[in-house]
Amino acid sequence: MAVAEPPRIGRVLIAEAELRARVVELGRTISRDYAGQNPVIVGVLKGALVFMADLIRAMPIDLTTDFMALSSYGVETKSTGVVKLASDLSMPIDGRHVVLVEDIIDTGRTVSYLKRNLETRHPKSLRLCALLDKIERREVDVEIEYLGFTIPNVFVVGYGLDHAGLYRNLPYVAALDGV
Ligand code: IMP
Ligand code: MG
């Protein structure tokens, strides 16, 4: 029996320059909406790490950062729908404007869990900023107030997104073939 081929980096879906341009636009838009309000920008680790680092540097306003971490799927490439909070925010958010920053919305399960979780803490407002939207796969309705790109139903890596922990450091978003 043939041994299964390891996955390999395929077609580049979003090149570095395209990412940069769009992230700067998003940063400007969010900055206009939250100027003078010191929003809490909450990144979902680890996927949102790279996106958020670039996003906040495109936001010339007072802001605060915080992070939540979710337990990973391991090497699975499909959402199990089971989400576990591995690490929580470092401070309360009641009365604060919160922008949740995610790498990708797939089934929508992860982010709807997170939104419900954060709403119980009574933020003044809560909006979602996602780099990628794999809309074809949606199972749970989610409103994405700030979206980078809509992508087709392919597994992608790079710019923070991983497969089995690898490829987060690629400066572009590419399809991963053979997963
Ligand atoms: P959801 O709960 O199905 O929306 O899954 C969202 C999470 O699944 C994301 O935050 C990613 O960690 C992961 N994910 C979904 N699609 C991809 C992909 O194409 N590449 C890498 N990670 C993905
Ligand atoms: Mg993620």
d(CA 112, CA 115): 5
Evaluate: CB of 105 within 6 angstroms of ligand 1.
Answer: yes
pLDDT bracket for residue 79 (50, 70, 90): low
Evaluate: CB of 148 within 6 angstroms of ligand 1.
Answer: no
| Domain extents in the chain | 17-155
What confidence tens digit (pLDDT) does each residue in 60-76 have?
A: 999 999 999 987 555 55
pTM: 0.94
Radius of gyration of the chain (CA): 16
The fold for domain 17-155 equals: Rossmann fold (3.40.50)
133 carries an active-site annotation: no
The number of beta carbons lying within 10 Å of the beta carbon of residue 179 is: 17
What confidence tens digit (pLDDT) does each residue in 7-62 have?
A: 899 999 999 999 999 999 999 999 999 999 999 999 999 999 999 999 999 999 99
Q: To test ligand 1's pocket by mutation, which of 13, 76, 104, 168 has the most ligand atoms within 8 angstroms of CB?
A: 104
Atom of ligand 1 at shortest range from CA of 151? 19
Atom of ligand 1 at shortest range from CA of 161? 21
